[in-house]
Amino acid sequence: DDSANRRLTLSEAFLSADAVLMTLQNIVEGLVVYPKVIEKHIRQELPFMCTENIIMAVVKAGGDRQVCHEHIRVLSQEAGLAVKRDGLDNDLMERIRQHPYFQSILNQLDSLLDPSTFVGRAPDQVTEFLKDEVAPVLKKYEGKISEKSVTLEI
């Protein structure tokens, strides 16, 4: 008979789960989102993310994929070095705009840099998840969910 052991381990498991949930609640309640900081990070990283799209646009306009890739690689490394070593802003797009090889797609660069083209269905999936999964659970426990804030003392 292991009933004594089960009484001990089951209660400890619930206490552990409660502690994890309280910690998670404490973290989430203190979460602050700064949209301007997010925008800045996106502006810094997006040029590197869109290089494949630039290569595809150049190839579609009649350019050579290997030559384009080499130009992108060199310009990306130069821009990355300026960011990391000198603390400068990412100027990869300016470097691309100034390079004669990319003149054929200059009018497309702004659309290639549109952040919304990199998120796929994520906004729709979040909306669907909130509507189909979260809302029913919240409704089921309406009036039973505590608004009490959690404070942790460590």
Please give the pLDDT value at position 1. Answer: 62
The better pLDDT of the pair 142, 65 is held by: 65
Stretch 71-100: mean pLDDT: 96
Please give the pLDDT value at position 82. Answer: 95
Please give the pLDDT value at position 3. Answer: 83
Percent of the chain with pLDDT over 90: 79
Please give the pLDDT value at position 139. Answer: 93
Stretch 1-27: mean pLDDT: 89
Number of independent structural domains in the chain = 1
Confidence (pTM): 0.69
Residue 120 lies in a domain: yes
Residue 39 lies in a domain: no
Residue 124 lies in a domain: yes
CATH of the domain at 95: 1.10.40.30
Residue 34 lies in a domain: no
Residue 133 lies in a domain: yes
Stretch 68-93: mean pLDDT: 96
Per-residue pLDDT at 107 exceeds 90:
yes
Domain that holds residue 77: 45-140
Residue 78 lies in a domain: yes
**What is the per-residue pLDDT across 52-77, written as a single tens digit (0 to 9) for each?**
999 999 999 999 999 999 999 999 99
Quickly list DSSP for the chain: --HHHHHHHHHHHHHHHHHHHHHHHHHHHT----HHHHHHHHHHHHHHHTHHHHHHHHHHTT--HHHHHHHHHHHHHHHHHHHHHH-----HHHHHHHSGGGGGGGGGHHHHT-GGGGSTTHHHHHHHHIIIIIHHHHHHTTTTS---------
Residue 153 lies in a domain: no
Residue 102 lies in a domain: yes
